[in-house]
Amino acid sequence: MKNINLIAILGPTASGKSALALEIAKAIDAEIFSLDSLSIYREIDIASAKPKKIELEAVKHYGIDELNITEANNAMVFKNLLEDTIKTTQKQTLLIVGGSSFYLKSIIEGLSPIPTISSAQKEEINAHITSIKNPYEFLQQIDLSYANCIKPNDTYRTHKALEIFFNTQIKPSEYFRSHPKIPFPYSIKLYEIEIERETLRARIAQRTDQMITEGIVEEIASLVQKYPKDSQPFKAIGAKECISYLEGHINYAEIAPLISTHTSQLAKRQITFNRTQFKNISQLSSKEIYENILYILK
C-alpha cells in the first residue's frame, strides 16, 4: 500500500475550507482532492463556488470537473476518484477538502460493491422508481428490515435500495448481507474548522451576493436549456432557487435571501453531522489547523 498522508479539512459551507487548504498545500507542497458534490460537475462553476483558474494553476486539484451534468454522483464515485488520485499523485500529502462529509464517512466506513448496470438499465429503473408514489413505503413493503434502518426522508438511500432491488430482485438487506462493506485501506486525519455562527452567516450572505454578481442565474438558465431539469446538480442549493425564479415561482429579489437561508440551514446540518458522525475529529480554528498540520508534518 502506498505511503501517503491523507488529511481531511471539513467544515460548513463558506467556512473557508478551500482557502485554508490552498494555503496549507502551498506551504507543505501538497495537492488537493475536492470532496464537493457540485464542483465535481463540469459547467457548474458559479453555483459550486469552484476554485478559480489561478487557484487551480497554483495547486493541483483532483475531483473537479469529473462528471457531466446528466451523470449521477455518489459515494462510490468519490471513492473511486480518491483511490485513483492516491495512485496518481507524486506528493507525500493529499488534502481532502469539501462539505460532502456524508460521502467521506461512507468511504471511511467502507462501501458494499454495487451491481454493474448499463446506462439504459439505470434510466429504466430510475424512471420506474420515480413513478412510485411513495418510494419509502414501497421499500417498507419489500424489505421492512432495511427500511427501518434508514429515515423516511433519506431519499438517497431509499433510491439506492430500490435500484438494487429492481436490478437484482434481491432484498437490499439480503444483498448487503452477502456483499459486506470493503473498508477503506488508508487512514485519514480529520479536522473541522470552528467558526462563530454570526461570522458564518455573514460569509454565506457575502458569498451568495458574489454568486448573483458573477451570474449564477444566467449560468443555471443556460444549463437548464441544455440538460434535463431533473439532473442531480440542479437539485442543489443555488441551482434550485434559480430554477424556481426562472419558472416564475419567485421574483428576482427573493433569490439571494432564499439561497442564504437554505445555505445557513445546510451549514447547521453539516456542523451537526461532522461532530456526531466522525470519531477523533479535531475541531480547531483555521489558524490552529494550519499550525497543527505544519507541525505534525515536520
Binding residue numbers: 11-18
User: What is the C-alpha separation between 241 and 264, in angstroms, rounded?
Assistant: 14
User: What is the C-alpha separation between 21 and 96, in angstroms, rounded?
Assistant: 8
| Contact (Cβ atoms closer than 8 angstroms) between residue 12 and residue 101 | no
Picking from 196, 208, 198, the residue whose alpha carbon sits closest to that of residue 263 is 208
190-201 b/e with 16+ CB inside 10 Å = b? bbbbebeeeebb
Binding residues for ATP: 11-18
User: What is the C-alpha separation between 151 and 91, in angstroms, rounded?
Assistant: 40
Q: Is the dihedral of CA 91, 92, 98, 104 positive or negative?
A: positive
CA–CA distances in Å: residue 72 to residues 67, 92, 287, 297: 8, 31, 36, 36
User: What is the C-alpha separation between 255 and 183, in angstroms, rounded?
Assistant: 42
Binding residues for substrate: 13-18
Picking from 170, 112, 115, 161, the residue whose alpha carbon sits closest to that of residue 138 is 161
